[in-house]
Structure 1
Amino acid sequence: MSLRTELRRGIGPWSGVAVAVTVLVAMYGKAPGWQGRWSDASDLLHTAAGLLAGPLAAATGCWQGGRERRRSTGELLASAPRGRLARTLVAAAPAALWPAAGLLCAVAVCLGATWPYAAGGRPFVSVPAADAVAVAALGALGFVAGRLVPWRLTAPLVAAAAYVGLGLPSYTASPARWLSPAADRYTVWHEPLWWFGPAMAVWTGGLAAAALLAYGARHRALALVPLAAACAVAVPVLRLDGDDGPWRPDPEAARLVCDDGTPRVCLSAVDRALLPEASRALAGLNARLRGVPGAPVRWVGGPRAPGPDEAALPDPVAAAAHGVLRDPRQYAYDAAAALSDGSCPSGEGEEGIALDLAVQEWLAPAPPGSGADPAALQPYLDRLRTGSPERQRAFLGRYLTTGLCESAGVPLP
């Protein structure tokens, strides 16, 4: 049977459709969380490829592998002039190629949906390519399992084993977890080492090639060649740091982009499309802080901690959908919370904490239904709102330069 005919029949095409639909449905449910950044889209696609597409490919490959035994056509195919290895590779092709194609289609759709909203950064092509190779490899490994154990329940068992085997390494701190095609990661301000994507392709592809050769080749020692290649590329991966692994800081992605307001609002370059939205949301808060002693010189968002004259901003992408802040009032309220310098030891400074919450509400009122209990804060809010502008500014200047645990001693206006 020709490769073209084999690719067009059986469960192969349906496995590609199933992988694409599964990944797209999973991504669609979390669209507001990943459409604003290339890195967020790539990270979630990587997880979906490993934990959803991978086990599905292994299960469909296993079903494909047991087809001849179920149909009792094994002896007939064995009498064909084509060799055992050639027959194995042709039969395994749909199990490997179709799921990988389905994943690449899903990746293209998701990256296309990200393009209108992602202003900075870029997708790393080598990473989804390595994910596609991993899905193809899992399909091939499932095919071999189906040939060796042609039981109808083997496919779901293989899928369950693949899900557990791919997911467990993410719960460890060992560098070995980076060898899993589903290793969890967060890469907003990072970029991968140039060799990591190709190394992962060799790792997963080498294991699958070794399994196919061990099963179908006349000289099974040939399986040692791809196995040796897979082990060779695994060595530098195992030497990576357990926390950051193959990801390194990207200075361009973390570069701050600021507006010209006072205080200035600064976001990292990957979030610069949301800078106008963040500036508008913080306009009222900035008007109260402008010129007040102890007020931050600028708001900063990104990977680094704010400096002495800076205050941290909430993650704008987490608060946005399709390039627009979902609730500007909540964003300003969360930003005002960053003006607090920390927390007091247990049982100390409760009055100061209440005052801190009242000041936060006064600077940037919380949306209805959020924030602290208004009844508990009302005595403070009445004093803050009824004082003259001069006394309000004087109080705010003293308050911002006083520690939270001592803030109760700051006289209200």
Structure 2
Amino acid sequence: MSALGMSGATDTPGTPHDHNPSNNPDHNPGHGPGPGPRNDHGPTRLRAARPLRAELLRGIGPWTGAAAAVIIAVTLFSSADRWQGRWTETTDLARVAAVLLCGPLAVAAGCWQGGRERRRRTDELWSSLARTPLRRALHALAPAALWPPAGYLVGTGACLLATWPYASDGHPFVSLIAADLVALASLGVLGFVAGRLIPWRLAAPGLALVAYVGLAVPVYSGADARWLDPGIDHTYSWDRPVWWFGPASAVWTGGLAATALLAYAARSRLVALVPLVLAVAAAVPIARTGDAVWRPDPEAARLVCDDGTPQVCVTAVDRKLLPATSSALAGVNARLRGVPGAPVRWVDHPHTLRRGEARLLSPAGLAVRNRLPDPALYANWAVGGLFDEDCDQTASDAAARERATAVSAAVHQWLAPRPDSGAPSWPEATAHLKRLEAMNAEQSRAFLTRYLATGRCRADEVPLP
């Protein structure tokens, strides 16, 4: 074949040539009699547009997710001393921050997204598309429904990683984290539907305020139905949620959002009854169960004790704090050791005290990352619980009650001195403390025996040092 015959395949791009079919404006590639231009890399194809990806990567969505992650991180890490050491506290505080702070953000983002076409005056153009109203709504609400949960997941994941080196036993409540993700997505959907229906530019901040109030009010309620609010905090670290609580919460919040969306965008409004029935069916057992959605966890409440005398026992969730707790109480135990009437064991909550046991202040209340920054304060608090008795002293006269209180303050300061607090403030207690400090071991032991043998409720019988 001549060089002229090969010119269509060998000429460089952009070089004019009369024999190149691609330079002929009348040539129709693929339909003419001659072969089309050769392409060793296959035919060039235009990438199909992806509306959902475009919705997710542009607009308010990514900023909302980043804001949710920052809110979770800043809120929790500003109070890391409270939760960094227990899975329960980490999960609970993340839930509260997610629902009470990120929830209104999701509502506002959804409302702003829902009113976008109205602000741009493109609502008629969108309605002319071939997609169904429900499909158009799903594409439009995706940023508000997906980005806040994604931000919450990132922020909470960082907090869980920060807890992992210090936590003792247990694990984070994954079912509740999943329920929070559904709750945030549902709030975004509800905000989107409201934004489509409310033609007001300030609807987004207004709905965010309403959402915050609506989510915060049940926190201060004592009704069993308050557990329908996903932002309710839990208190006890040795409890766990019942297995169905997380899934039921997800069905409850997700069902409400699906009901609103289908009532707005579905071709048949009757379809919205299905998620509504599911939401009510999930809400009933939560409202009827109330506080019992949290049950004691025997493994978390299991006692872990040292080999000292008196013995110090903490729950398994604070197992890593046992060495610091024993060290803080070492001075108190040295003075109580072998004294008749003194406790033989310090026991943490939630166990019922038996004979010879004293209630131990949970060390997690003062601990920071498995250590006690102020061991003297912890020992002082523990001794305060040792002498704290709920009794009626009205049978004793005022002078006897005042004298008993002064003796108790002196004994408290002598057993667990606080260098920063100094001696008791009134002269009588100071005098008792000085006499206690002047005693030798045998004298102090004899006094403690008499003191512990007398109930603090009988003020007129409390011995003087």
Does residue 366 in structure 1 map to residue 418 in structure 2? Answer: yes
1:49 Cα deviation from its structure 2 partner = 1.4
Task: Give the % identical residues.
Answer: 57
| Structure 1 vs Structure 2 CA RMSD | 1.6
Segment drifting more, 330-339 vs 183-192: 183-192
Deviations along 1:171-200, whole A, 9 cap, x unmatched?
A: 222221111111232241111111111111
Specify which of 24, 42, 54 is matched with residue 103 of structure 2.
Answer: 54
- In structure 1, how many angstroms separate the alpha carbons of the residues matched to 2:182 and 2:216? 18
Specify which of 344, 347, 359 is matched with residue 312 of structure 1.
Answer: 359
Alignment-derived partner of residue 287 in structure 1: 334
- Kept in 2: contact 1:37–1:270 (CA 8 A): yes
- Kept in 2: contact 1:384–1:412 (CA 8 A): no
- In structure 1, how many angstroms separate the alpha carbons of the residues matched to 2:163 and 2:228? 27
Residue 171 to residue 329, structure 1, CA distance change in 2 (3 Å) = same
1:307 Cα deviation from its structure 2 partner = 2.3
Specify which of 384, 395, 400 is matched with residue 447 of structure 2.
Answer: 395
- Kept in 2: contact 1:341–1:403 (CA 8 A): no
Alignment-derived partner of residue 263 in structure 1: 310
- Kept in 2: contact 1:20–1:103 (CA 8 A): yes
Segment drifting more, 231-240 vs 7-16: 231-240
Does residue 78 in structure 1 map to residue 134 in structure 2? Answer: no
- In structure 2, how many angstroms separate the alpha carbons of the residues matched to 1:395 and 1:379? 15
Specify which of 116, 124, 127 is matched with residue 173 of structure 2.
Answer: 124
**Larger RCO of the pair (alpha carbons < 8 Å, separation 6+):** 1
1:210 Cα deviation from its structure 2 partner = 1.0
Deviations along 1:378-413, whole A, 9 cap, x unmatched?
A: 200111111221111011011112111436645445
Does residue 160 in structure 1 map to residue 160 in structure 2? Answer: no
- Kept in 1: contact 2:149–2:185 (CA 8 A): yes
Alignment-derived partner of residue 178 in structure 1: 227
Equivalent runs, 1:124-143 vs 2, <5 Å = 124-143=173-192
For the residue of structure 2 that corresponds to 1:331, the secondary structure is: helix
- Kept in 2: contact 1:50–1:135 (CA 8 A): yes
**Structure 2 gap ranges (5+):** 1-49
For the residue of structure 1 that corresponds to 2:280, the secondary structure is: helix
Alignment-derived partner of residue 221 in structure 1: 270
- In structure 1, how many angstroms separate the alpha carbons of the residues matched to 2:219 and 2:160? 24
For the residue of structure 1 that corresponds to 2:292, the secondary structure is: coil
Segment drifting more, 102-111 vs 177-186: 177-186
Alignment-derived partner of residue 319 in structure 2: 272
For the residue of structure 2 that corresponds to 1:365, the secondary structure is: coil
- In structure 2, how many angstroms separate the alpha carbons of the residues matched to 1:86 and 1:285? 70
- Kept in 1: contact 2:239–2:296 (CA 8 A): yes
Alignment-derived partner of residue 380 in structure 2: 333
For the residue of structure 1 that corresponds to 2:295, the secondary structure is: strand
TM-score (norm 2): 0.85
- In structure 2, how many angstroms separate the alpha carbons of the residues matched to 1:297 and 1:196? 40
Specify which of 128, 132, 146 is matched with residue 97 of structure 1.
Answer: 146
Specify which of 53, 58, 82 is matched with residue 4 of structure 1.
Answer: 53
Alignment-derived partner of residue 298 in structure 1: 345
- Kept in 1: contact 2:95–2:177 (CA 8 A): yes
Segment drifting more, 34-43 vs 177-186: 177-186
Segment drifting more, 271-280 vs 42-51: 42-51
- Kept in 2: contact 1:134–1:201 (CA 8 A): yes
- In structure 2, how many angstroms separate the alpha carbons of the residues matched to 1:223 and 1:386? 81
Q: How many residues align?
A: 411
Say which one has the larger Rg. Answer: 2
Deviations along 1:244-276, whole A, 9 cap, x unmatched?
A: 231111111111100000000000000010000
Deviations along 1:350-398, whole A, 9 cap, x unmatched?
A: 1101101100100110130377427552200111111221111011011
For the residue of structure 1 that corresponds to 2:281, the secondary structure is: helix
Alignment-derived partner of residue 436 in structure 2: 384
Letter in 2 for 1:38: W
Alignment-derived partner of residue 21 in structure 1: 70
TM-score (norm 1): 0.96
- In structure 1, how many angstroms separate the alpha carbons of the residues matched to 2:132 and 2:422? 70
- Kept in 2: contact 1:187–1:247 (CA 8 A): no
- Kept in 2: contact 1:383–1:412 (CA 8 A): no
**Structure 1 gap ranges (5+):** none
Deviations along 1:102-145, whole A, 9 cap, x unmatched?
A: 11111101111111111112111000110110001001100111
- In structure 2, how many angstroms separate the alpha carbons of the residues matched to 1:355 and 1:209? 66
Letter in 2 for 1:105: V
Residue 195 to residue 366, structure 1, CA distance change in 2 (3 Å) = same
Letter in 1 for 2:353: P
Deviations along 1:52-78, whole A, 9 cap, x unmatched?
A: 111111111111111111111111111
Residue 120 to residue 374, structure 1, CA distance change in 2 (3 Å) = farther
- Kept in 2: contact 1:339–1:400 (CA 8 A): no
